Amino acid sequence: MKKFVLSMVTLATLAFADGNITYKIDGKDYEGYYVTASKNAPLVYMVHDWDGITDYEIKRASMLKDLGYSVFAVDLYGKGIRPTELADKKAMTKSLYDNREEMRKRLNAGFEEAKKLGLNTTNSLGMGYCFGGSSILEMARSGADLKAFVPFHGNLATPAGEDYKNTKGKIVVFHGS
């Protein structure tokens, strides 16, 4: 009995540990980041800007956790791929802008990873900064089942042949000029 209780405590601790998580998409490693406010805390599904997941996303995740949310920051580039040169950032984002199907696959795979972690994906919204904001709008157009999609300074252009008819949640755009 003592071993069982200890095992359950260990599992509970692991389920709500914060940090990096490696997961696979088509055999390639991706590294997301998550924080958990509480077992049933609403989830903020965050997409990084064109730098990949950096201290900026980690800081925002911590701030959201302090407000009572859990956060899963999805990795759209791959484990260890964090471009620093302008040309590399442009190349990484262009590769996904030019292949929306791949972008959606990576967005959905990250969301599935959040589910596996036990995060509250039934009460969730998606948000992203710049490239991440554009990606969140792509997720909205895909028909993802989130309550809201919140881009910050994302590209607002709708690609040819796409629309928002499958969008299930509300869209709240923050875009200064």
Residue 95: inside a domain: yes
- The CB density around residue 111, as the number of other CB atoms within 10 Å, is 21
CATH for 85: 3.40.50.1820
Q: Which domain holds residue 123?
A: 17-171
- What are 59's two structure tokens? 């800081």
Residue 8: inside a domain: no
Q: How many helices (H) and strands (E) does the chain have?
A: 5, 7
- Please count the structural domains in the chain: 1
Could you give the 3-state DSSP secondary structure of residue 75?
A: coil
pLDDT digits (tens, 9 = 90+) for 133-161: 999 999 999 999 999 999 999 888 899 98
Phi-psi category of 164—alpha, beta or left, where left has phi over 0 and alpha has psi -120 to 50? alpha
pLDDT digits (tens, 9 = 90+) for 5-31: 334 443 444 445 689 999 999 999 999
* Reported pTM: 0.88
Residue 4: inside a domain: no
Mean pLDDT of the chain: 91
- pLDDT given at position 12: 44
Residue 176: inside a domain: no
